[in-house]
């Protein structure tokens, strides 16, 4: 059986016309040709159509060989090139600034909204009582760290760095920072950059002094700006470099210099506000400005003590920038006072735990238990490899003594698993 084609031809062949002879097909073809000729004449003469009826916009060749119609993607020759529909219309000359929200405030980096030296002076006079309370709390914490164990200061520095990074965009916990500092166990990508910045902040708060603020080269060395090859592209885009950084530093240092007669806490507040407003650390490394402000505020302390002023242990009030100079300075002093009080509470808890630990490890033999107690004072969270590196004991001795410490109620295991365990002091 012959299969029928899916689409029959428009005109059947002359031979073998189905349903008739070749003569009949010729007659039918003549009728069709006559009908087509009549239809073409009707189109040329316009018969059957009134003059008012709209003409069909079918494409037709013009004299030049092209078409007289325009497609949807062809340019309009009558339209002006500067008339872009997706751009906003230019504002009127007499329009109010409130009608243009993109011109309501100054651009970032101009420092137009920052309080001036006279504003900070009036704010210092109005916050005299808060300044006295803050200085008293910070001084008490400084004396406690001078008299306490050596590891207590390092523990507070790690907690301050973790909280400072948390409020400024780097989500680095204390346990990850401790692992990175002791064992150099880091992650990849953005986590590695966050850990590197946290380690930099820990080193600067622990050992470094305050650089010359008016010297961009010394400030770049303090910030580690000479090593820019390993920075990701996002930081290189948002962070000022070269002559731009030097110009912003000169402007920032000139503003800080005008507050030379004020209390170091007030100078640190103005330095932090000016640093952040000018974007000297970009959008991803604002912890640099916080560390620099903590070192500036430490000029109010005696040398050889704490060496920095905590900003974020009690929350992020000190790091917020809103309102006038009095509101900003009040929040700054309140945040520092809360951080110092939290540090004092941590010192009291650790001092009580140290007395209890010395009493309970007295019957134990060897030097490993006492070294483990000192290591637990240094770090808020510790693992067996960390304690092995800190004490110099074997892995088996560390694990055996930590099991004894658990039985004595001196430590708590926080992971709840049999391997890769972490302990913290049961304060």
pLDDT > 50? residue 296? yes
pLDDT tens per residue, range 355-409: 999 999 999 888 899 999 988 988 888 888 888 988 888 989 999 999 999 999 9
3-state secondary structure at position 273: helix
Within the chain, all domains assigned CATH 1.10.3290 are found at 117-344
**Does residue 201 contact residue 293 with C-beta atoms inside 8 Å?**
no
Q: If you average pLDDT over residues 232-257, what whole number do you get?
A: 78
Q: If you average pLDDT over residues 76-84, what whole number do you get?
A: 60
Within the chain, all domains assigned CATH 1.10.10.10 are found at 361-425
pLDDT of residue 61: 47
CATH code for the structural domain at 361-425? 1.10.10.10
Pick from 265, 307, 373, 328: nearest CA to 116: 328
pLDDT > 70? residue 105? no
Pick from 415, 407, 382, 400: nearest CA to 182: 382
pLDDT tens per residue, range 181-214: 877 766 655 577 888 888 899 999 988 788 888 8
**Does residue 169 contact residue 316 with C-beta atoms inside 8 Å?**
no
What span, in angstroms and rounded, lies between the C-alpha atoms of 235 and 240? Answer: 9
What strands, in cross-sheet order, belong to the sheet with 422-425? 382-383, 422-425, 411-413
Phi/psi at 411 (5° precision): -130, 165
117-344 maps to CATH 1.10.3470: no
What span, in angstroms and rounded, lies between the C-alpha atoms of 116 and 256? Answer: 10
Q: State the pLDDT confidence band at 414, using cuts at 50, 70 and 90.
A: confident
pLDDT of residue 360: 93
Please give the distance of CA 263 from its chain centroid, rounded to a whole number: 31
């Amino acid at each position: 059986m012959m299969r029928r084609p899916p689409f029959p031809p428009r005109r059947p062949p002359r031979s073998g016309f189905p349903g008739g002879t070749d003569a009949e097909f010729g007659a039918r073809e003549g009728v069709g040709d006559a009908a087509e000729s009549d239809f073409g004449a009707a189109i040329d003469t316009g018969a059957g159509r009134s003059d008012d009826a709209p003409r069909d916009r079918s494409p037709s060749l013009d004299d030049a060989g092209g078409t007289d119609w325009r497609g949807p993607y062809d340019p309009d020759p009558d339209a002006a090139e500067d008339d872009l529909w997706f751009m906003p219309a230019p504002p009127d000359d007499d329009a109010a600034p409130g009608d243009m929200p993109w011109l309501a405030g100054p651009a970032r980096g101009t420092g137009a909204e920052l309080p001036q030296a006279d504003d900070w002076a009036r704010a210092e006079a109005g916050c005299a009582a808060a300044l006295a309370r803050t200085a008293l709390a910070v001084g008490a914490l400084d004396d406690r760290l001078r008299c306490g164990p050596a590891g207590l200061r390092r523990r507070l520095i790690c907690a301050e760095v973790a909280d400072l990074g948390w409020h400024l965009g780097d989500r680095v916990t204390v346990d990850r920072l401790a692992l990175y500092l002791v064992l150099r166990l880091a992650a990849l990508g953005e986590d590695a950059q966050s850990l590197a910045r946290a380690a930099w902040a820990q080193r600067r708060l622990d050992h470094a002094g305050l650089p010359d603020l008016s010297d961009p080269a010394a400030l770049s060395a303090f910030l580690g700006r000479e090593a820019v090859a390993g920075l990701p592209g996002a930081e290189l885009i948002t962070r000022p470099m070269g002559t731009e950084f030097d110009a912003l530093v000169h402007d920032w240092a000139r503003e800080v210099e005008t507050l030379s007669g004020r209390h170091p806490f007030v100078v640190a507040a103005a330095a932090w506000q000016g640093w952040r407003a000018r974007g000297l650390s970009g959008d991803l490394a604002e912890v640099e400005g916080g560390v620099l402000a903590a070192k500036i505020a430490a000029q109010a302390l005696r040398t050889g003590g704490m060496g920095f002023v905590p900003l974020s242990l009690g929350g992020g009030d000190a790091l917020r920038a809103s309102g006038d100079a009095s509101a900003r300075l009040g929040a700054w002093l309140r945040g520092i006072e809360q951080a110092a009080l939290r540090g004092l509470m941590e010192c009291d808890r650790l001092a009580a735990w140290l007395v209890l630990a010395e009493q309970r490890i007295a019957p134990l033999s060897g030097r490993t238990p006492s070294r483990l107690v000192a290591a637990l004072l240094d770090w808020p969270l510790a693992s067996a490899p960390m304690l092995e590196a800190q004490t110099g004991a074997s892995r088996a001795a560390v694990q055996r003594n930590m099991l004894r410490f658990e039985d004595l109620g001196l430590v708590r295991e926080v992971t709840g698993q049999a391997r890769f365990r972490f302990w913290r002091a049961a304060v």
